Structure 1
Amino acid sequence: MAPRFVRSTLLAAALVSLTPACGEKEVRPALDLLTASCAGTQPLAGVTHLRFRVTGPGIDTPRERVSTVEWAQEDVPALPPGSARVLEVRAYVGAPGQGGQLVSVGRTAPFDVAEGQAPKVRVFLRRLGEFVPVNLASDPRTCSLPAEARAAHTATTLPDGRVLITGGYLPEENGTRLVSGTTEVFDPADGTFSPGPDVGARAFHTASLLPDGRVFLAGGAESFAPVSLQSTARLVDVATGAVSELTPKVARYQHSAAVDAAGHVLLVGGRAAEGSGVFTAEAFDGASGRFVEVAGEVRRVDTTLTVMADGRTFLIAGGADTQGPVAEVVAVGFSGTDLERLTNVPPRLRVPRVGAAVAVLGRPDESPRPLLMGGFDDVDPTLDARAVGASEVLEDVMAVSDGPALMPRSNPCAVSLADGRVVALGGRGTGIGTTYAVPWAELITPYAGAQATVLGLTLMPQPRVWHTCSALPDGSVLVVGGVDDSTGEPRANTEALVVMPQPRD
């Protein structure tokens, strides 16, 4: 039977032991282990054993200790000094190594350990694969809700692990869409949402994380009745609360953006207020804080834009021009402030698609490559365009290969995890002359020299489209907002959910 406690704290800050092999002073951390949730299956339901596991640079073999569920302070391994230490807690029904089933996992964000100084760390233990509402650290059985229901917003994971949630619209059952100019900051360390700065009403905009930690917001619609576009961009420093207003050359929404290692933000595609395509490309230079001229056009709407592992090559894949879906994958990069096309004969997609998603698959040591997922095979799903199930790997500027088969949907939310896997959530499916939000969730795992595998996760509690999914420092995924129109009437998804995927190792 699972114990009744929901929080246990190891008060071991004074415990210091010597490592015989190297003489370094090791410390046992003060662990705040949260073992309750505000909904769903409780993390310790049926649990009999815990495994404490420490990893990090310089720790060649993970340090592990196994205890019963009634753990004591000495069950947590001592930590050697160093940076980016991670303490993981795994919960089992039955003894691990003797057929026990892993059912819950929690991890710290990476933290530093100074010699002789025991850090205080916190772990939210979460049931594997279940979508549950975010809970508070101060009261784990209480759910934490965003201040606003949002769809077509952005969510940006900041360097410190917090998530900046920006703009979007409120889906009303009568079809009204009121656009928001507010922001919220989610702190995964305590499970709270707090208000951020106003950034001007915008939905279907883009948010790009710059190398210095600031967030660049561009474009978006500021109203839908009738459609009018946000004419400004914002540069947001969440750490200081500073917001700078900028003016791009072109107003657009439903466009794509990506940022390279040098801090250039490329904006392509999108739509004008009357619905026509915006083919003028534009770029923002994060180093100078100015927009720079970009020659030529990118004749795409509903396209994807990503940066390859080299940190400088942008790939434009999918989308449609005035004639229909476009198969060519275009590679471009900056030379100074000039944007150059990198190939004269671009590779072609096996399945041209509109409204796809892209995320990088693979760890840095696994030759990471962008994976293109979903989309419609034509422009208008009410005129027989069908959702695409095939995915494609953007190998390099010269080649595209087949990826794994996924559930067919357009506009899924896709996010790369720190361990190299990709999670794809929700999106829009197709019926006869109609589209609808779907609850599908898939976990995609790469393998060297072999096809990636796909694991279907538990369905989300509600179908969602125009939502966001963000990788959190503990390996879980935060899902915020979106709209559920699967029953014919749009309904706002008001809860923020979190899901912990099965560990990769």
Structure 2
Amino acid sequence: MAPRFFRSTLLAAALVSLTPACGVKEVRPSLDLLTASCAGTQPLAGVTHLRFRVTGPGLDGPRERVSTVQWAPEDVPALPPGSARVLEVRAYAGAPDQGGRLVSLGRTAPFDVAEGQAPRVRVFLRRLGEFVPVNLAADPRTCALPAEARAAHTATTLPDGRVWLAGGYRPQPDGTRPVSRTSEVFNPADGTFSAGPEVGARAFHTASLLPDGRVFVAGGAESFAPVSLQPTARLVDVATGGVSELTPKVARYQHAAAVDAEGHVALVSGRAADGGTVSELEGFDATTGLFVSSGTPLHRTDVALAVRPDGMDIQVVGGVDPLKKAETDVPAFRFQNGSLGALPAGTALRIGRQGAAVAMLGRADESPALLVMGGFDGAEPEQGARPVGASEFLDGVSSVRDGPALMPRGNLCAVTLTDGRVVALGGRGTGFGTTYAVPWAELITPHAGAQPTVLGLPLMPQPRVWHTCSALPDGSVLVVGGVDDSTGEIRANTEALVVMPPPRD
């Protein structure tokens, strides 16, 4: 399998061996290894060796084989039957057991192995830490583009690993912002974008994945000149294309939403068409299809929501009050007895902030904690509000502690990887009395009993804000859309980028 080919396929897939100790038949997966990219550094540039590594429940440890870059079918480990197997391919410049440098990485999505049946799997090999456009499995040297340029859209990772992109506006050089009513689906298995159901014109809306796999889409602006609000919500079954329309009690945009473990959706904060604050909290019960109100108003905008690890308590992080003060109080709510009720306990951030991001840091087996990142310490960055670099952990609903220092910016995008790490991307910085999109990317790794470490990843090719970031099943991150105004000229980010962080181990 010479490295000059961008695709290497194990056609001799069903090599079966018998494990003498227990009589279990092991099978060798059929691997479709894609070793080209449509831009950037080619994944096999400088590579001399490959390590094939399989992990999963029930294995006594990782199964590994090392080969030269000209690998053969038998270099892929044979596997016993089991579920959630992951095949990882690591590419090195130099022999890995002699100090070779890891330069590229690819993984499968988790797959099942049935006895005597060799599964077919695919791996996109990607250069570590490098942001490149997504490429097609059918032609890896061809980049795949979304159908539309989008900003202030939503990206929802579906149970099958696909990413559903909905709504948003199309940034124009003259500053106008026509709003989209379309959606599209990115399939990481083959690198394609395909049309999805229409959701009604909306930007700065929310899209919440429900436990049954449907997506609840709420609010948003349907136009900006002048501002008018989308009065409807939609329940969308992306798999079937089914859409049902609902009517919330309150229209809002630039709000926040969160889903508890039972499928209740909380809609919090936001702006009215005149720019005023929407103070009414509203909940949606997916099991009954009914909207419920809360008796506790919340007078703040630009908040973030966080769901506690218990899956039930919802915390409101940051925001600014009507007097333009950045809030420190972190109220908590829970759906109970058919309503969204405030919890008596609460805590306070050490730094008031609006436009922050919150993500869970740590795997389920290592005491994960909610990490609050970024934001501005006041209402108006153009009038002196500063971006925040300090992060904070929310410990329960009644205490906080310091987190690691990050690059100071607001309106960043943060996503939790399957291995418990967090990637923080883009956002808005300040300088010379103005705000601008930034290209910064950071990888945050938790450590038991110690502060997390922060690794600066290479800069994104273009600064961006109002973009989305989504964790893909292979451990990479998809970045879509947004606006680049860093040069004073408004530019749409038309490419969908993917980045593979370095492995945790």
Tell me the residue number matched to 2:344: 343
When normalised by structure 2's length, the TM-score is 0.99
Tell me the residue number matched to 2:326: 325
CA contact (8 A) 2:85 2:113 kept: yes
Give secondary structure in 2 for the equivalent of 1:272.
coil
Tell me the residue number matched to 1:210: 210
Give secondary structure in 1 for the equivalent of 2:170.
strand
Tell me the residue number matched to 1:113: 113
Tell me the residue number matched to 2:364: 364
Q: CA offset at residue 312 of structure 1?
A: 0.5
Q: CA offset at residue 342 of structure 1?
A: 2.2
Q: CA offset at residue 347 of structure 1?
A: 1.3
Which residues of 2 match residues 261-340 of structure 1 at below 5 A?
261-323=261-323, 324-340=325-341
Tell me the residue number matched to 1:495: 495
Letter in 1 for 2:101: Q
Q: CA offset at residue 246 of structure 1?
A: 0.5
Please identify, of 315-324 and 292-301, the stretch whose mean Cα deviation from structure 2 is larger: 292-301
CA contact (8 A) 1:343 1:397 kept: no
- Does residue 392 of the first structure (1) align with residue 392 of the second (2)? yes
Letter in 2 for 1:263: G
Tell me the residue number matched to 1:450: 450
Tell me the residue number matched to 1:471: 471
Distance 1:442 1:26 in 2: 40
Give secondary structure in 1 for the equivalent of 2:137.
coil
Consecutive unaligned residues in structure 2, runs of 5 or more: none
CA contact (8 A) 1:342 1:397 kept: no
Letter in 2 for 1:387: P
Tell me the residue number matched to 2:27: 27
Tell me the residue number matched to 1:421: 421
Letter in 1 for 2:494: T
Letter in 2 for 1:22: C
Could you list the per-position Cα deviations for residues 62-106 of structure 1 after superposition, in whole angstroms to 9, with x for gaps in the alignment? Answer: 000000000000000011111111000000000112100000000
Q: CA offset at residue 173 of structure 1?
A: 0.8
Tell me the residue number matched to 1:249: 249
Which residues of 2 match residues 9-158 of structure 1 at below 5 A?
9-158=9-158
Please identify, of 220-229 and 57-66, the stretch whose mean Cα deviation from structure 2 is larger: 57-66
Distance 1:172 1:222 in 2: 16
CA contact (8 A) 1:437 1:484 kept: yes
Distance 1:322 1:483 in 2: 28
Q: CA offset at residue 445 of structure 1?
A: 0.4
Give secondary structure in 2 for the equivalent of 1:97.
helix
CA contact (8 A) 1:12 1:118 kept: no
Distance 1:404 1:14 in 2: 48
CA contact (8 A) 1:12 1:29 kept: no
Letter in 2 for 1:349: L
Q: CA offset at residue 192 of structure 1?
A: 0.3
Give secondary structure in 2 for the equivalent of 1:382.
helix
Letter in 2 for 1:138: A
Could you list the per-position Cα deviations for residues 202-244 of structure 1 after superposition, in whole angstroms to 9, with x for gaps in the alignment? Answer: 0000010001111110000000000000000011101111011
Tell me the residue number matched to 1:160: 160
Give secondary structure in 1 for the equivalent of 2:372.
strand
CA contact (8 A) 1:217 1:235 kept: yes
- Does residue 186 of the first structure (1) align with residue 186 of the second (2)? yes
Give secondary structure in 2 for the equivalent of 1:360.
strand
Please identify, of 469-478 and 314-323, the stretch whose mean Cα deviation from structure 2 is larger: 314-323
| Segments of 4+ moved more than 3 angstroms | none
CA contact (8 A) 1:56 1:83 kept: yes
Distance 2:26 2:458 in 1: 40
Report the CA distance shift for 1:313/1:60 in structure 2 as closer, same or farther (over 3 A).
Answer: farther
Work out the number of aligned pairs and report it: 504
Letter in 2 for 1:173: P
Tell me the residue number matched to 2:7: 7
Taking only the aligned residue pairs, the percentage that are identical comes to 77
CA contact (8 A) 1:384 1:432 kept: no
Q: CA offset at residue 22 of structure 1?
A: 2.3
Give secondary structure in 1 for the equivalent of 2:199.
coil
